[in-house]
């Protein structure tokens, strides 16, 4: 995509997301709004994670099997801290949005969906040559997902106390 096309797409996604969030705030949201919000989130994740990585360029189908590889990345390249942080935070909203959209009943189905999504993203990075299929990324995605789960539980606890 050209830069202008990316900016227009980003603006449309941002405006539509704000619109849905306002509908949620004013209790006007519908099932379509819930599905739209999770769809937008997943679309942004896919577009962001499957773009060519400037650091690697087009790779030669690299696979990194070390789930703690991010530690050596940080030691060798301090800018990897930003990538670590991004990999942690991008999946924090997933549990919250899956629960809000009420697509999957129960914790286990949400976890299975998340795991499949994370693995598929990493495998696509391998086959599309847009990055490294990295187990440490999946490990960090998991930490982020479970942080989202814990934040959701804390929010419910606070909400119960306020009632």
The per-residue pLDDT for range 24-82, each reduced to its tens digit, is 888 899 999 999 999 999 999 998 898 875 555 444 558 887 877 878 877 788 778 88
The rounded distance, in Å, linking the Cα atoms of 96 and 73 is 30
The alpha helices in the chain, defined as continuous H runs, are 3-25, 31-49, 69-76, 80-89, 92-101, 107-127, 135-162
Q: Which domain holds residue 34?
A: 1-49
Cβ-based neighbours of 95, under 8 Å, separated by 6 or more: 110, 114, 145, 146, 148, 149, 152
| 63 and 41 fall within a common domain | no
* H helix or E strand, kind and range, residue 133: strand 133-134
Tally Cβ neighbours within 10 Å of residue 16: 13
Q: Tell me: do 104 and 44 sit in the same domain.
A: no
Residue 42 and residue 91 in one domain? no
Last residue of a domain, one of 25, 49, 73: 49
Please state the separation of Cα 74 from the chain's center in Å: 21
Q: Does 154 share its domain with 124? A: yes
**pLDDT class of 130 with cuts at 50, 70, 90:** confident
Are residues 83 and 112 both part of a single domain? Answer: yes
| Whole-prediction pTM | 0.84
Q: Give yes or no: residues 45 and 91 share one domain.
A: no
The answer on 156 and 127 residing in a single domain is yes
């Amino acid at each position: 995509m050209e830069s202008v096309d990316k900016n227009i797409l980003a603006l449309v996604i941002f405006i539509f997301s704000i619109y849905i969030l306002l509908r949620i705030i004013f209790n006007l949201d519908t099932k379509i709004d819930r599905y739209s919000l999770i769809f937008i989130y997943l679309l942004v994740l896919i577009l962001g994670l499957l773009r060519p990585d400037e650091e690697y360029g087009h790779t030669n189908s690299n696979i990194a099997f070390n789930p703690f590889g991010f530690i050596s990345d940080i030691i060798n390249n301090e800018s990897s801290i930003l990538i670590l942080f991004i990999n942690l935070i991008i999946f924090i909203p997933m549990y919250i949005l899956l629960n809000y959209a009420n697509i999957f009943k129960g914790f286990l189905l949400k976890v299975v969906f998340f795991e499949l999504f994370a693995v598929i993203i990493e495998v696509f990075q391998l086959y599309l040559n847009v990055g490294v299929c990295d187990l440490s990324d999946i490990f960090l995605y998991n930490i982020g997902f479970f942080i989202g789960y814990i934040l959701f539980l804390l929010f419910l606890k606070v909400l119960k106390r306020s009632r």
